[in-house]
Structure 1
Amino acid sequence: MITGNQLLPGFDQRRAVQGVPQERYLATEIPGPRSRELMVERRAHVSNGFGAQLPVFIDCADGGILLDVDGNRIVDFASGLGPTSLGASNERVRERLQAQLDRFTHTCFMTTEYESYVEVCRWLNRRAPGSKEKRTALFSTGAEANENAVKIARYFTGRSKVLAFDGAYHGRTHMTMSLTSKAHPYKTGFGPFSNDVIHVPVPTSPRASADAVELSLDCVRAALRENDPTSFAAMIIEPILGEAGCLIPQKGFLAGLREIADEHGILLIADEVQSGMGRTGRIWAIEYEDVVPDLLVAAKALANGMPLSSVTGAADVMNAVHPAGLGGTYAGNPLSCEAALAVFEQLDTDGVLDKATDLGRIAIEMLRPLVGGGHGVIDVRVRGAMIGIEFGDEATMEPASGRAKAVSAYCHANGVLALTNGVHENVIRLLPPIVIEPTLFRDGLQVIIDGIRNTAPKAISDDR
């Protein structure tokens, strides 16, 4: 990192996005004076229902850096909660968007069609797991796609119930809030929710026992028996539970779900909104388990920040719905489709998956030694560029939300955007842009390590 008195003469902090130096830099405290001024305006005009973990206003961004309105260069470990995995100002995405802007911004695919929509569907059909012929439908948000996946499953099976899992997050619409496990802040005050959604546990480390997979599968079987397995249309699960703290189900659990689903004619939905599109080092996180879902949901990084989501599945399932039964005015907007095609080009040719894998190796090298080291880190979960650092009592594994909040605050003050999440808010989740430079990534991780070491005594005392 460089500080204000090291600023190069004549350097313009607000110059073109492509020129943002990939180095952490603090020009002011964070948040700076201009961001604080804008926060006053925000409170005067924006609903309080929108939170902000780091109250700074961004002027421009590129690669792994967010440049705020006060001239601070902040290391981006959030990627806009996952979408901008190829950087917030990706050159190919901008080029395709500009070309499409010169043609038209919208027509609605349900009224007059355009080729880019079909091209996006073709790529997703080809890259989704499994050998069956596939079809895809495009939407705008991850929640919208998850809701439509449930609609498709219900239509195809003629059933209504859905099995979801503890720790799940699937969105903020009514149905996806029902699917979501965590009550606050996502569900508090917004009920009642669907009675057709049943939740069961997922076996995850570090608290899972050796027989946890079979015990959890027994819970699934019991839930089906108690509610009549022939009434279930679908099971929906994130191959990595992002909002729960990047929890990775233990090996064999997803395969067990596949077997149970097949036994009862239930569709298995993989929600890859956060884990898909190369973030884990493979196009889909479920590929690590060699499991083929019936329906696969994508969003976030699908169009690198432009609103686009998808549901892909076997042709007989996807084609079961009557014409005009699926859709949406902005579903598969042409600008978003062009952005997605730019993402696909880079996933196919630019070694993006290898870059994600390399980031994972760096994270393991730097963060895993902290586990059990007396600083309150009880687990570090890494799959490519999807990383969770869990805090708790090293003896009892009791969650320590104060530790995560203290470390996050330290990071923010030192120019690293590191967000807290998890069922108990005791996890720092890292979703860096896959294209972040390794040197910058290491610098950001070192700030986290410093924060863990420097805040430990006070944070542990606060929690106890």
Structure 2
Amino acid sequence: MSEATATKTSIPQQRRLVTEIPGPRSQELHARRQEVVPPGVHSVLPVYIDRAHDSIVVDVDGNHIIDVCGGIGVMTIGHTDESVVAAATEQLGKVTHTLFTMTPYAKYVEVAEYLAKYASSDERYKTLLVNSGSEAVENGVKIARKHTGRPGVAVLENAFHGRTMLTSSMNHKAAPYAAGYGPRAGNIYKAPNSYPLHDGLSGAEAAARTIAFLEKFAGAEDLACLVFEPIQGEGGFIVPADGYLPALQDWCRANGIVFIADEVQAGIARSGTMFSFEQFGIQPDIILTAKGIAGGLPLAGITGRAEIMDKSQPGGLGGTFGGNPVACAAAVAVFESIERDALLLEAKRIETSFTEGLKALQAKHPAIAEVRGRGAMLAFELTKPGTTEADADLVARVIDFAAKQGVLLLATGVYNQAIRLLPSLKITDELIADVLSVLDEALTAA
């Protein structure tokens, strides 16, 4: 029996607790960790994981926990997917590294072909592979500046783009990502976004507000790019009003501004389409991917129109580990799994099952102000009843209660006002029902 098969058969897809959460071995490891790992590397839940498969993670104490976060959207096709493990293992035995910009290899090209295939059906797109979402954003901005010769970068309220100097400067909130870490990058303009629950604006109205802000405070002629998340991730899983993104795209095209979709969290099948932008009637100039693209291995992509990507001179793009052959082999297996196992349809199934259950909870618990999201990228916002005021304390209590019951959840939103659901596309309806029952108990208790 292979290791992957053994892992699958030894981890039934059921929640099971054998100790308190966190258990004694996790507590022991956490004490050791505090001696050698700085507190800035924070963990939401100090439970130490030993093994995992599909939607269940098993900690060092033997507790079987339902993972509804998936490494913050990374494990889209499930933990230790057999095809990903097999592809990475085979590649490990062949070549682990040469550096693509020195001596290239086929898997990098194959990943670029998949991304071009899904980026557009009738235009030519090219891809640069790097290591992380932050690096993808950095390179997207760099390429846009090279193409336009302009310095300015526009982003939207509630945005999250990373933790590097540039990307943390692009984030909506400074704490904890930029506060105290020195000067921030300049030429960044943060414009109002569409947030239907709170602004009450139509897509056209919200877009007019965004455009008016940028024209007044940035100047369209100085903007290299507008970087946006079609569905915002850390900002609260915010889905913009209909017509908002198409209006922004039209304005960018009219003013020579590169339209960049940050699909790091929403892309690679999570939303029910390969890229979430497909659901809004737009076609970005550059598409940024990471997280779910390689089944848990570090990989990210910048996929852009050929005429934009080709502006960079030889040697101007790349990096030592970008597009590592093992990560590329895993990514090819991810794309093959999405197509072979009809995972886009599974994302729709998950959306239906979770949304119906969350709507039922909303009818029972008035603190749930809104249920939103697409596919397997869903959230519900908690407010003080009768208001739109964020209730971050209630969010924290619900997450803490669920964790102690063996359900791993995360907060989201600038004010931690919502709870996010990022399950594997292979999560079963039985596990979804179990998660919903724990959420009901948590909301009642809190």
Counterpart of 2:428 in structure 1 is 437
Distance across 2 between alignment mates of 1:268 and 1:52 = 34
- Match for residue 51 of structure 2? 60
TM-fit CA distance, 1:30? 0.2
The C-alpha deviation readout for 1:75-121, integer Å capped at 9, x for no partner, is: 00010111111111100000001110111211110111100000110
Partner of residue 284, structure 2:
293
Pick the aligned partner of 1:149 from 135, 140, 147.
140
Find the partner of 1:382 among 373, 376, 398: 373
One-letter code of the match for 2:140? A
Cα RMSD, aligned residues only: 1.3
The 5-angstrom pairing of residues 153-302 of structure 1 reads 153-211=144-202, 213-302=204-293
Matched, 1:371 2:362: yes
Q: Distance in 1 between matches of 2:9 and 2:295?
A: 16
Separation in structure 2 between the aligned mates of residue 280 and residue 206 of structure 1, nearest angstrom: 20
User: For the Cα contact (< 8 Å) 1:367–1:449, is it kept in 2?
Assistant: no
Give me the whole-angstrom Cα distance separating, in 1, the residues matched to 2:37 and 2:425: 32
* CA deviations over 1:201-252 (Å, ceiling 9, x no partner): 1112312314464144333233223322111000000011110111111111
Match of 2:64 among 67, 73, 80: 73
Match of 2:382 in 1: 391
Q: Which amino acid aligns with 1:307?
A: P
| Unmatched 5+ stretches in structure 1 | 1-14, 456-464
In the alignment, the residues of structure 2 paired with residue 282 and residue 363 of structure 1 have an alpha-carbon distance, to the nearest angstrom, of 17
Aligned letter for 1:89? T
1:189 shift after superposition: 1.0
State the SS of the aligned residue for 1:338.
helix
Residue in structure 1 matched with residue 407 of structure 2 by the alignment:
416
| SS of alignment partner, residue 90 of structure 2 | helix
Q: Deviations over 1:31-86 (max 9, x none)?
A: 00000000011001111111111110001000110000001000000101111111
Matched to 1:326, the amino acid is L
Deviations 1:340-381 (A, max 9, x none): 000010111211011111000011110013336444111111
Q: Distance in 1 between matches of 2:113 and 2:136?
A: 17
- Paired position in structure 1 for 2:79: 88
Q: What is the TM-score of this pair, normalised by structure 2?
A: 0.96
Q: Which runs of 4+ in 1 moved over 6 A?
A: none
Equivalent position amino acid for 1:420 in 2: A
Q: Distance in 1 between matches of 2:418 and 2:194?
A: 17
Q: Where do residues 8-47 of structure 1 align in structure 2 (5 Å cutoff)? A: 16-47=7-38
Alpha-carbon distance in 2 for matches of 1:233, 1:240: 22
Contact 2:191-2:213 within 8 A present in 1 as well: no
State the 1:436 CA deviation. 1.2
Of the structure 1 ranges 21-30 and 392-401, higher mean CA displacement relative to structure 2 is found in: 392-401
Amino acid at match of 1:203: S
Instruction: Quickly say closer, same or farther: Cα 1:294–1:54, change in 2 above 3 A.
Output: same
Separation (CA, whole Å) in 2 of partners of 1:375 and 1:236: 35
TM-score where L is the length of structure 1: 0.93
Assess if the C-alpha contact under 8 Å between 1:18 and 1:89 holds in 2.
no
Q: Is the 8 A contact 1:17 1:60 kept in 2?
A: no
Map of 2:89 onto structure 1: 98
Counterpart contact for 1:276–1:285, Cα < 8 Å? yes
In the alignment, what sits opposite 2:3?
none
SS across alignment from 2:50: strand
Question: Is 1:125 aligned with 2:110?
Answer: no
Could you say what secondary structure the match of 2:52 adopts? Answer: strand
Where structure 2 has 5 or more consecutive residues not aligned to the other structure, the ranges are 1-5
Identity, % of aligned positions: 37
The residue matched to 1:310 in structure 2 has which SS? Answer: strand
Q: Provide the C-alpha distance between the structure 2 equivalents of 1:16 and 1:373, rounded to a whole number of angstroms.
A: 39
Give 3-state SS (helix, strand or coil) of 1:297's partner: strand
Structure 2 SS opposite 1:36: helix
Post-superposition offset of 1:130: 5.5
Kept in 2: contact 1:405–1:426 (CA 8 A): no
**1:51 equivalenced with 2:42 (yes/no):** yes
Q: How many pairs are equivalent? A: 441
